[in-house]
Structure 1
């Protein structure tokens, strides 16, 4: 189990890599990077610039329907179902599962899904490999949209979840909420000559995957000199301009 301190170290390391990649892309050289907390980093060069780094999730992780929460519940349900399946006899099936995005999981459904899925696989495991017709399980497992059954070979393979995602366009209102929250937090930052905000979109994280595009009119900020929206594939958009301009 990961500790809070190791999670923080991993987060800090990722933020530093995001900052370094940005500085390289912008050909910003001759600055010293100093770790901080409020803000995340301080760049020391001709000026002292505070840099805050944050990630652009499609939804707040506190929301039950967010990919962060749904992903955790999906893996919990599949893991529990596999363990229950193994407790009732020898392993003869390896399962790949895909959930229906329009039928988000609820915490109260994890137990029933665990039992129903384990029992269902025991009933069909000798019918052969391949896709399972959804009509055979839709009524009792409406949250599941796809099942693929394989025969276990030498006890290999855990049951796994495999989702298909379609990138969404940038949600400007969500983006502005993130910026305004960071502006409020900046009231407690250490003094710097200027503040920059880097908003990172990780294309390899389904909870963030989106198509960043030009936002007409930019975004006004009286706090951040620069607000940079940066995609893991390298695309960079400068969003902010001074509220006084």
Structure 2
């Protein structure tokens, strides 16, 4: 019996983030209702509409953004393993990391799986350990390869990615606020609007250090702009 993975909607993710946020932030008394445009209604002495958005280090459409590169890395590794096994490769475990500063192009996506599969056949008898980066100059997108040195049942190629955590860029924050202000005309009528900007600690496309320095962003739409980092439940009001 096959199991179909359950896809979580963006709305469900936003609601989960808000539930975590409300445990850490003293909201005014009132009834919480999830909706759309904006995402949350807080109905008390007055009705506050709360729009929720995520803070990606780079916009979705930006070249080299983590949210566009991660699926490409996964696809390359998966296809490389299939090619390697089809050619008679062993059940070794190959752990692979990509250089996040080097963008994977569409053309490279076509050739990297075969290059990686061929390289795996050259090192699958080596003892356990990290492979010298000088051994694979034809794969500059990769910056770390580790081999298990022996076979395991269901041995596979796996993505083991490491990241640096940047400081939140204020200019990017301003762009997010401006973008959301431009959509405010479609919001349902409320007495006030808040903008909750979530930084998901577990998502490398979002994880960044929230600045503790005062930030001044004037908004004609949002009464409050709140930064919230999950896991640590770090909160900064702008």
Instruction: Tell whether the structures are fold-level matches, with TM greater than 0.5.
Output: yes
Deviation at 1:2, TM superposition (A): 6.5
In structure 2, the partner of 1:224 is: 222
**Once structures 1 and 2 are overlaid, which stretch shifts more, 174-183 or 215-224?**
215-224
In structure 2, the partner of 1:242 is: none
User: 2:175 matched to 1:177?
Assistant: yes
In structure 2, the partner of 1:27 is: 26
Q: TM-score, normalised by structure 2?
A: 0.92
Distance 2:89 2:214 in 1: 59
In structure 2, the partner of 1:209 is: 207
In structure 2, the partner of 1:116 is: 115
Distance 2:146 2:110 in 1: 21
Deviation at 1:187, TM superposition (A): 1.1
Aligned match for 2:197, one of 177, 187, 199: 199
Residue 182 of structure 2 aligns to a residue in which SS?
Answer: helix
Contact 2:64/2:102, CA 8 A, preserved across alignment: no
Contact 2:167/2:211, CA 8 A, preserved across alignment: yes
In structure 1, the partner of 2:17 is: 18
- Change in 2 beyond 3 A, CA 1:45/1:192: same
Contact 2:90/2:124, CA 8 A, preserved across alignment: no
Deviation at 1:203, TM superposition (A): 1.4
- Change in 2 beyond 3 A, CA 1:173/1:2: farther
User: 2:161 matched to 1:163?
Assistant: yes
Contact 2:92/2:124, CA 8 A, preserved across alignment: yes
Deviation at 1:152, TM superposition (A): 5.0
- Change in 2 beyond 3 A, CA 1:217/1:101: closer
Q: TM-score, normalised by structure 1?
A: 0.89
Report the count of equivalent residues.
234
Distance 2:191 2:234 in 1: 27
In structure 1, the partner of 2:187 is: 189
In structure 1, the partner of 2:43 is: 44
Residue 79 of structure 2 aligns to a residue in which SS?
Answer: helix
Distance 1:115 1:80 in 2: 8
Distance 2:165 2:143 in 1: 19
Residue 142 of structure 1 aligns to a residue in which SS?
Answer: coil
Deviation at 1:121, TM superposition (A): 0.7
Instruction: Give structure 1 stretches of 5+ with no counterpart.
Output: 240-245
Residue 221 of structure 1 aligns to a residue in which SS?
Answer: coil
Deviation at 1:195, TM superposition (A): 0.3
Aligned-residue RMSD, C-alpha? 1.8
